[in-house]
């Protein structure tokens, strides 16, 4: 089977299997998803519908309350034999039933269970104690919803809702008002209750006994439910078991069905929403068929594409096969039809490029073999000619070897002289190396001294700076304290002012004493003493001021001198220390430079010593070689004779080489290039 067919069949099988698996899993997944979605929708719909029905029933409980509280009804139950009250009550009931439209009749029952008023006058006076809901209402005095009943007047399914009536003055239970609600009226809106993707889906309502209250098929209303699963749900309700909202699958008339159900708590009715599984799963089937259809189209396209791809793959392989067959037949002639294969990027292209490369290599080898065979033939002829020349030249080698022997002796003498000179150079190099080592040690000592000198200078600079800062601080404090002299000067001025005033006061006192006459003599003496003290104080203060001026001048001189001393230390002494540190630092660097130079000279000297050793070794080797050459010259003379004999053998082998070259040419001729 060709590669083209294998590729086509393989791709067809793979795609067919893929489509089958995809269709199966798509249908399974879509069907499961749609069933889950449908179940969720069913549960939501039945829960919502159950709530609506509960609201309708609650409305039927609330609406008649105004009847139970009306004066006519209360008075009628108090006086049931009063014809006028009965007529008014009946009129009120008729008006109510005409407004509601969903009631079969409305009636009033006294506390004995007898109908005292009814919109259906034929039922007035009837005993209702056989009805369970009547007994429950009379016993509990509360509102009651009956089970589903068959109306005695119309035969329809009805639900009775009772509202208790109390005496307005005494608050005593006197009876109740009851409405007979047509059961079917609570479920009229169920006609339009359907699933989104199922037009044939429908809802039906079952009473607590298992009879149909509502069904799209009218003939089934009032008849027992036929579905066994729903019957089981009704039985649970009858037993008082808790029944929630759920779904159930079953078959009806051979068709698969899916239904959701819930129980209306007020009436114990069961609401069911049912749909055909086939219709629910129809979109999944449609999708699967669509996938299969698309898959078939893809498969057809794949067959065509695989055929084209197979052709594109197989054609280069066939060409490569033809190229291999030509190579096997030793046909190496270039064929341009195979050049397109070298541009293919897949494995076929790699094979083609490798094959063409091999053919090119074979072509080159054959060309080289052909050229080599020709060259061998030519070389054999040349070797034959050369052997004759070698035989002739070998005769002259004896004289040449004698000349070489004399030259070797002269060379040996020169080598001995060179060896002696090299020994002297080696001794001088060792002396230089020793001196450089001593210089290196001396430079290290200089470096250490420079470092110590630098450290001492730095410490001295720090001490000088510390002393400078201390003296400066104390000097500044002393100058600051000297300013107190100014305060003394100020105080003396104050004292002088006081003495002047005292002197003036003494003068005024003396004048007043003179005016007083004899009585003021004693006061005049005191005033005179005060004046004298004032004059002495003034004189003393003047002396103090003179002394203060001298002190102030001395303090100024001291301040000026101290400032100059501090300035000298700051500018000159500190600068000299810094220069000293810089000089010692430079001294250290110079010592390090000398040490580095000594190290370099030492290294160069060691390298020179090694070089001299190498030269000495080489000279010794040359001497040995000269001696060996002398021996070799003797051997050359002996082997020259052997060379003559060998050339005769070479001539024989040259003739054989010509024969081999001819055989190689016959092999190369089989290739086509």
The DSSP result for 20-83, as a single string, is: HHHHHHHHHHHHHHHHHHHHHHHHHHHHHHHHHHHHHHHHHHHTTHHHHT-HHHHHHHHSTT-H
Please provide the distance, in angstroms rounded to a whole number, between the alpha carbons at the two ends of the chain.
35
pLDDT tens-place string over residues 22-75: 766 766 666 667 667 778 888 888 888 888 888 877 887 788 888 888 989 999
pLDDT of amino acid 88: 92
Q: C-alpha angle 341/342/347, rounded to 5°?
A: 80
Chain centroid to CA 111: how far? 82
Reduced DSSP (H G I as helix, E B as strand, rest coil) percent helix, strand, coil of the chain, to 5 = 75, 10, 15
Same-domain status, 501 and 375 = no
Per DSSP, the three-state class of 159 is strand
Same-domain status, 335 and 411 = no
Same-domain status, 407 and 489 = yes
Same-domain status, 564 and 645 = yes
pLDDT of amino acid 362: 74
Same-domain status, 580 and 656 = yes
Is 444 within the bounds of a domain? Answer: yes
Same-domain status, 350 and 432 = no
Is 628 within the bounds of a domain? Answer: yes
Compute the distance between CA of residue 577 and CA of residue 572 in angstroms, rounded to an integer.
Answer: 9
pLDDT of amino acid 127: 92
CB neighbour burial string for 55-70, b if at least 16 within 10 angstroms, e if fewer: ebbeebbebbeebbeb
Is 115 within the bounds of a domain? Answer: no
Is 588 within the bounds of a domain? Answer: yes
Same-domain status, 501 and 605 = yes
10-residue mean pLDDT profile of the chain (673 residues): values are 67 75 68 73 85 81 86 90 91 89 89 92 89 90 84 79 86 91 76 79 86 83 85 87 86 83 86 83 69 77 74 67 72 67 69 73 74 72 69 63 63 65 65 67 69 71 71 67 64 73 74 72 70 73 71 66 65 64 66 68 67 69 65 65 67 70 70 64
Give the full edge-to-edge strand order of the sheet including 255-264: 212-214, 202-206, 269-276, 255-264, 246-252
Q: What is the domain range of residue 488?
A: 402-668
CATH of the domain at 581: 1.10.287.950
pLDDT of amino acid 184: 76
pLDDT of amino acid 94: 92
Same-domain status, 414 and 348 = no
Contacts of 518 (CB under 8 A, 6+ apart): none
Q: Is 530 in contact with 505 (CB distance < 8 Å)? A: yes
Taking CA atoms, 50 is separated from 189, 264, 271, 335, 487, in Å, by: 12, 6, 7, 90, 113
Compute the distance between CA of residue 214 and CA of residue 188 in angstroms, rounded to an integer.
Answer: 8
Other beta carbons within 10 Å of 493: 12
Chain centroid to CA 230: how far? 57
Is 661 within the bounds of a domain? Answer: yes
Domain tally, the chain = 2
Is 352 within the bounds of a domain? Answer: yes
Same-domain status, 541 and 496 = yes
Per DSSP, the three-state class of 143 is coil
Compute the distance between CA of residue 3 and CA of residue 446 in angstroms, rounded to an integer.
Answer: 94
Same-domain status, 510 and 564 = yes
Q: What is the pTM of this model?
A: 0.41
Is 501 within the bounds of a domain? Answer: yes
Q: Strand pairing partners for 207? A: none
pLDDT of amino acid 622: 63
Same-domain status, 333 and 409 = no
The DSSP result for 454-522, as a single string, is: HHHHHHHHHHHHHHHHHHHHHHHHHHHHHTHHHHHHHHHHHHHHHHHHHHHHHHHHHHHHHHHGGGGHH
Taking CA atoms, 208 is separated from 205, 220, 233, in Å, by: 10, 16, 10
Compute the distance between CA of residue 456 and CA of residue 448 in angstroms, rounded to an integer.
Answer: 12
Which regions of 128-268 does DSSP assign to beta strands (E)?
144-150, 157-166, 173-182, 202-206, 212-214, 246-252, 255-264
Same-domain status, 594 and 559 = yes
Is 362 within the bounds of a domain? Answer: yes
């Amino acid at each position: 089977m060709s590669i083209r067919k294998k590729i086509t069949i393989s791709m067809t099988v793979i795609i067919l299997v893929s489509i089958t698996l995809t269709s199966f899993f798509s249908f399974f997944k879509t069907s499961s998803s749609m069933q889950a979605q449908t179940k969720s929708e069913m549960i939501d719909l039945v829960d919502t519908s159950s709530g609506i029905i509960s609201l309708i029933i609650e409305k039927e409980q609330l609406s008649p309350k105004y009847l139970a509280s009306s004066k006519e009804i209360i008075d009628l139950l108090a006086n049931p034999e009063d014809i006028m009250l009965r007529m008014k009550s009946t009129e009120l009931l008729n008006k109510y039933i005409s407004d509601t439209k969903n009631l079969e009749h409305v009636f009033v029952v006294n506390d004995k269970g007898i109908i005292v008023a009814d919109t259906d006058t034929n039922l007035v006076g009837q005993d209702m104690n056989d009805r369970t809901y009547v007994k429950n209402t009379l016993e509990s005095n509360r509102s009651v919803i009956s089970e589903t009943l068959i109306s005695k007047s119309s035969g329809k399914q009805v639900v009775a809702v009772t509202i208790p009536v109390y005496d307005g003055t005494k608050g005593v239970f006197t009876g109740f008002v009851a409405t007979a609600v047509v059961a079917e009226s609570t479920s009229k809106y169920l006609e339009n209750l359907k699933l989104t993707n199922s037009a044939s889906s429908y809802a039906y309502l079952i009473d607590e006994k298992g009879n149909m209250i509502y069904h799209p098929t009218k003939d089934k209303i009032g008849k027992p439910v036929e579905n066994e699963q729903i019957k089981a749900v009704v039985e649970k309700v009858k037993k008082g078991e808790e029944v929630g909202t759920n779904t159930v699958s079953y078959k009806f008339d051979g068709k698969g069905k899916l239904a959701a159900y819930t129980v209306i708590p007020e009436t114990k009715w069961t609401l069911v929403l049912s749909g055909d599984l086939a219709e629910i799963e129809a979109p999944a089937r449609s999708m699967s068929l669509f996938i299969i259809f698309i898959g078939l189209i893809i498969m057809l396209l794949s067959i065509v594409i695989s055929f084209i791809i197979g052709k594109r793959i197989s054609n280069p392989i066939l060409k490569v096969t033809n190229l291999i067959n030509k190579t096997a037949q030793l046909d190496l002639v270039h064929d341009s039809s195979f050049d397109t294969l070298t541009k293919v990027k897949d494995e076929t292209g790699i094979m083609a490029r490798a094959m063409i490369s091999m053919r090119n290599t074979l072509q080159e080898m054959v060309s080289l073999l052909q050229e080599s065979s020709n060259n061998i033939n030519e070389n054999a002829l040349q070797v034959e000619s050369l052997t004759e020349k070698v035989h002739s030249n070998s005769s002259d080698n004896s004289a040449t070897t004698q000349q070489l022997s004399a030259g070797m002796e002269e060379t040996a003498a020169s080598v001995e002289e060179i060896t002696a000179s090299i020994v002297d150079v080696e001794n001088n190099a060792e002396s230089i190396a020793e001196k450089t080592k001593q210089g290196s040690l001396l430079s290290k000592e200089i470096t250490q001294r420079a470092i110590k000198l630098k450290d001492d200078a730095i410490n001295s600079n720090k001490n000088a700076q510390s002393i400078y800062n201390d003296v400066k601080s104390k000097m500044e404090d002393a100058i600051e304290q000297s300013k107190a002299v100014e305060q003394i000067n100020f105080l003396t001025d104050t004292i002088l002012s006081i003495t002047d005033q005292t002197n003036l006061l003494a003068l005024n006192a003396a004048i007043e004493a003179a005016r007083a006459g004899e009585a003021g003599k004693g006061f005049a003496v005191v005033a005179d003493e005060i004046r004298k003290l004032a004059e002495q104080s003034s004189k003393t203060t003047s002396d103090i001021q003179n002394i203060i001026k001298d002190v102030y001048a001395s303090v100024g001189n001291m301040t000026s001198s101290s400032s100059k001393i501090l300035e000298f230390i700051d500018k000159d002494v500190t600068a000299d220390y810094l220069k000293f540190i810089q000089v010692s630092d430079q001294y250290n660097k110079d010592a390090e430079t000398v040490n580095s130079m000594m190290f370099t000279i030492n290294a160069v000297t060691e390298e020179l010593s090694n070089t001299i050793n190498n030269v000495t070794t080489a000279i010794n080797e040359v001497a040995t070689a000269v001696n060996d050459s002398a021996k070799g010259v003797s051997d050359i003379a002996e082997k020259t004779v052997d060379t003559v004999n060998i050339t005769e053998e070479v001539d024989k082998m040259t003739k054989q080489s010509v024969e081999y070259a001819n055989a190689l040419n016959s092999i190369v001729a089989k290739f086509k290039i």
